Structure 1
Amino acid sequence: MKTNAGRFFEDYKIGEVIAHAVPRTLSGGERALYHALYPSRGALYSSDEFARACGLAQSPLDDLIVFHTVFGKTVPDISLNAVANLGYGEGRFLAPVYAGDTLSSSSEVIGLKQNSNGKSGVVYVRTTGRNQRGEAVLDYVRWVMVRKKDLGAPAPDTVIPELAKAVAPEDLVIPAGLDFSAYDFAQAGEPYRARDYAIGEVIDHVDGVTVEEAEHMLATRLWQNTAKVHFDATFRPDGQRLIYGGHIISLARALSFNGLANAQMIAAINAGAHANPCFSGMTVKAWSEVLDVAETKAPGVAAVRLRLVATNGAQPELRGADGKYHADVLLDLDYWALMPA
């Protein structure tokens, strides 16, 4: 049998390292299509001249292009038979990626837990993306619920990795040469520095995007993500195609430009949860909460810790009295961004 049905929960072993096919060379085409799919207009990712004025050789590719590409490589081995991708932690962007770079991915299985129904389990992996020189550009943990094929297969010993609640500011990697001391606020689109944001401040990003079936499937194919739930309407009992969670992350991040235009680079993903599924026809809106502000050693560069929440509508609250996410909450993402100090 030459075809690949993908791995099931019982196929994973703690400590196993999986090298993912296929390496991918990124170009300006990915940037153009990314900016067509999402209302993304961060100055550092739009203009070579702006990036050079900030100390970089040229405009890097959007951080989430890197995330989606590295993530997409892992899908055939990790989440082809997934029920849902559940969350993220300990993510760090380690080096800028430029057009012409080639990315590859590998993952180590660091946790397993069979669900009580015996039909699925949660797989924890630490994934690393590397460029053509073997340099790590991204490292993160994610956990995903995967179906069992053999319901009679014995449950593995439960191993749940202990993850830091957040990446410490001193562990953030600042791109070499990044300098915001002569930052052009007029070109960037807003006048606000890190010191203009107060811890606890909540920013309503105002705008919304209604998700279309063809659009989200095009985006998911762009990242070579082959998970069946995103394409095959017969794969779910409700007959709906589940929208790739990364699509919601990129939509919400792009919407956050209105109020956070100077949160230029994502330095880390502290935690993330896809709180509820998203389907075609839903309208994604977003708000952010400022969680922390920290100094960095780079000239003029500060780090701002943000909670980015995407909703189906305008839900202003995250959780109900029972502590559970509101049904309209689609994404709860905690990340560090680099911003002029």
Structure 2
Amino acid sequence: MTTTDTDDDSDAQDRELIAGWHGRYYEDFAVGNVYKHPFGRTVTETDNVWMTNVTMNLNPMHFNEAYAAETEFGERLVDGTFVIALAVGMSVIDVSVNATANLGYDNVRHHNPVFHGDTLFAESEVLSKRELESRDHVGIVETELRAYNQNDDLVLSLERTPMVLKREHADPSAATPPGWPEGIGTQPKDL
């Protein structure tokens, strides 16, 4: 490529490091807010078999097609702990990217079965929030997480309680978003 008078450093001067989504901080939560988490996720047979094997879940309902065919469901069910893990994982982007700990999972209910090929969607509702006297850098947020299949059947609900950083203690930046060590990748000095 040849350089002309019009090919100066203006392109380089237009470069800017832009902050992406840094997740919610304690101050961002309000009781009654509902966050519909982005992206549905289709559950595969592989998901179910791996989770069943890794956790040594010996219920043949999850891994024995002949056995499951004779049950009221007529086919294998997806391991409930996979459904929990998937729904919680889907909620992290909105609820706990900035959590320092998950304090509990309560009132876990499987409302309907999940089968191979079902696509799950999740949402969280803020039930309560409170500050801590013992820790001024975090607050506790209680949420209800709900997961639905592609037919709008509620398949899971649970209450989740993360301890979430307050913004002033997180110091988010475009150069160092959550999960990135300082100095990795493009930095403001590089632009």
Bin for the TM-score computed over the shorter chain: 0.7 to 0.9
Give 1:2 deviation, angstroms. Answer: 5.1
Match of 1:142 in 2: 160
Structure 1 residues 112-127: aligned runs within 5 Å: 112-116=129-133, 117-127=135-145
In 2, Cα distance between equivalents of 1:89 and 1:20: 20
- Pick from 37, 40, 56 the counterpart of residue 57 of structure 2: 40
Q: Does 1:91 align with 2:126?
A: no
User: Is the contact between residue 52 and residue 63 of structure 2 (CA under 8 Å) also seen in structure 1?
Assistant: no
For residues 89 and 137 of structure 1, the distance between their equivalents in structure 2, rounded to whole angstroms, comes to 16
The structural deviation recorded for 1:36 is 4.3
Q: Give every structure 1 segment of 4 or more consecutive aligned residues whose post-TM-superposition deviation is greater than 4 Å.
A: none
Unaligned ranges ≥5, structure 1? 152-226, 236-341
Offset, 1:47: 1.1
1:24 equivalent in alignment to 2:41: yes
**Pairs within 5 Å for 1:1-341:** 1=18, 3-116=20-133, 117-150=135-168, 228=179
Cα distance in 2 between the residues matched to 1:135 and 1:87: 25
Q: How far apart, in 2, do the equivalents of 1:35 and 1:53 lie?
A: 20
Q: Identify the residue that residue 253 of structure 1 maps to in structure 2.
A: none
Q: What is the distance in 2 between the residues matched to 1:126 and 1:39?
A: 28
What one-letter code is carried by the residue in structure 1 that aligns with 2:147?
G
1:232-264, Cα deviation, whole Å (9 max, x unpaired): 7x69xxxxxxxxxxxxxxxxxxxxxxxxxxxxx
C-alpha displacement at 1:37, in angstroms? 2.8
What are the Cα deviations for residues 21-75 of structure 1, in whole angstroms up to 9, with x where unaligned?
1100011110232134322322111112212222212011101111111111100
Partners in 2 of 1:39 and 1:58 — Cα distance?
Answer: 20
Instruction: Give TM-score, length-normalised by structure 1.
Output: 0.44
Aligned counterparts of 1:38 and 1:56: Cα–Cα separation in 2 = 23
Would the aligned equivalents of 2:52 and 2:62 in 1 still touch at CA under 8 Å? no
In 2, Cα distance between equivalents of 1:35 and 1:136? 22
Match of 2:93, SS state, is helix
Provide, for residues 204-230 of structure 1, a one-character-per-residue CA deviation record: whole Å limited to 9, x for no partner. xxxxxxxxxxxxxxxxxxxxxxx95xx
Asked if the contact 2:49–2:63 (Cα under 8 Å) also holds between the matched residues in 1, the reply is: no
Q: 2:61 is matched by which residue type in structure 1?
A: L
SS at 2:38 equivalent = strand
Greater gyration radius: 2
Higher RCO structure (Cα 8 Å, ≥6 apart): 2
SS at 1:44's partner residue?
coil
Following the alignment from structure 1 to structure 2, what is the Cα–Cα distance between the partners of residues 63 and 32? 12
- How far the C-alpha of 1:150 sits from its partner, in A, is 2.3
Q: Which runs of no fewer than 5 residues in structure 2 stay unpaired?
A: 1-17, 170-177, 183-191
Q: Percent identity?
A: 28
